[in-house]
Amino acid sequence: MFLSYVRCCLLSCAALCAGAVALAGEVEVLHYWTSGGEAKSVDELKGMMAARGHTWKDFTVEGGGGQNAMAVLKQRVLAGTAPAAALIKGPAIQEWADLNVLTSLDAMASFEKWDDLLPKVVADQMKHKGRYVAVPVNVHRVNWLWANSAVLKKAGVSTMPKNYEEFFAAADKIKAAGFVAVAHGGQDWQDFTVFESVALGVGGPAFYNNALMRLDKSALGSEDMKKTLEVFRRIKAYTDDKSPGRDWNVTTDMVIKGNAGFQFMGDWAKGEFMAAGQQPGKEFTCTAAPGTENAYTFNVDSFAMFQLRSWEAQKAQGYLAYLLMGDDFQKKFNLRKGSIPARLNTSMDKFDDCAKASSRDFVATSKAGTLLPSVAHGMALSSAYQADMRAIVSEYWRNEKTTVADTVVKLQRIAAPKQR
């Protein structure tokens, strides 16, 4: 039945689906896009579903990075009341597919030629045993440093820092000028986000790959790891007292409002700047995090579709999957979200310079072998390994009594030869 709906949509097209009220259904979608910029992005999707007569049922779970959402999703699936779709990323897609609760999207994917429309590195993450079970909507770059242009000017910082020496020199000037140098929200996933950018900038792509992705014991105990931890801790001195527990978007707002100079964050932060009416190159600046200019940590938002009983719900779900991969949706959505389309060959004409740079760098780093999955955003490790590493990194950030040596030992303990 699901396949025949897919064929209806794909063969006899959208017009039939649009006109036929009898084909409308409800989709319940789990996501954690609740900040200003994120809500505007998801509104694009809701509008497009509504235009086809489908009802969107929001299932939002607050909490940046999605840890809370994943916990709630587990309860719902165990209770037998899975939503139609959920924002699930990276290896977690495989974990859900292994439980045999996801719907195969392979008929639609082969008919619509998703393999040709997506970069291989993205397509591979959407597949379980070679079959599509999730739909990618974007590519976020994580290794960015954001800055308030006016704050930098007032502090006498004329160029964005390219390495940590320049970064700390700039941060000193910003602090001396009376601003918070680094806006940081002290939540474990935000600590981890900064940490992975520092690791990449200090140790380089090979170290990042060996230590954070392969969990190689000697890389985890290397001089590069020690240096990474030292630089990471040094950054903390430039954050403010109210940092602990603060949400990422409230933190971005400090940069938007000109209370802080820098923020390390993925380009969903750009969605906040834009929702506040600011533009890159004017009110704010984007640049690769220090030392990471020639590398790219990617984070792909994707929706996995759960098996549903009701035929009406399956129809709406099929349409959602079809819509998410569409050129029109990916353009509109990503213009607001801060990311770039996951689809290849989508015109970047309407996108700003940060997005254009991201798109160019995605291709260039892919060729150079420095396109790397974001560990902090669930693109590289299984949920369990990711959680272990996040806890160690965050404990080190929060508790200054924790030493580099202790942290290295803890990190090496998770380098067990278990399946990742």
Which residues are near ligand GAL by CB under 6 A?
A: 32-33, 38, 64-66, 140, 248, 268, 299, 301, 377
Q: What is the CA radius of gyration of the chain?
A: 21
Q: Which is nearer to ligand GAL, 127 or 336 (CB)?
A: 336
Do 296 and 365 contact (CB within 8 A), yes or no? yes
**In Å, how far from its chain's centre is CA 179?**
28
The CB-of-328 to ligand GAL minimum distance in angstroms stands at: 20
Instruction: Decide whether 53 or 186 has the Cβ nearer to ligand GAL.
Output: 186
Alpha helices in 262-400 (DSSP H): 268-275, 311-324, 327-337, 353-368, 383-398
Q: Report the nearest approach of ligand GAL to the CB of residue 38 (Å).
A: 6
Q: Which one, 42 or 308, has the nearer CB to ligand GAL?
A: 42
Least separation in angstroms between residue 32's CB and ligand GAL is 6
Residue 70 or 220: the one with the smaller Cβ distance to ligand GAL is 70
- Specify which residues 260 forms β-bridges with: 180
CA separation (Å) from 270 to 147, 284, 287?
A: 11, 9, 12
Interatomic CA distance for residues 401 and 96, integer angstroms? 38
Which DSSP letter does residue 104 get? P
Q: How far apart are CA 214 and CA 381, in angstroms?
A: 9
Least distance (Å) from ligand GAL to the CB of residue 336?
Answer: 12
Provide, rounded to whole angstroms, the least separation between the CB of residue 221 and ligand GAL.
28
- Name the residue among 89, 36, 48 with its Cα closest to residue 333: 48
Comparing CB distances to ligand GAL, the nearer of 25 and 271 is 271
Closest-approach residue to ligand GAL (CB): 64
In degrees to the nearest 10, what's the CA dihedral of 39, 32, 293, 281? 20
Nearer to ligand GAL, 197 or 314 (CB): 197
Residue for token pair 């100079």? 261
- Residue 47 C-beta: closest distance to ligand GAL, Å: 19
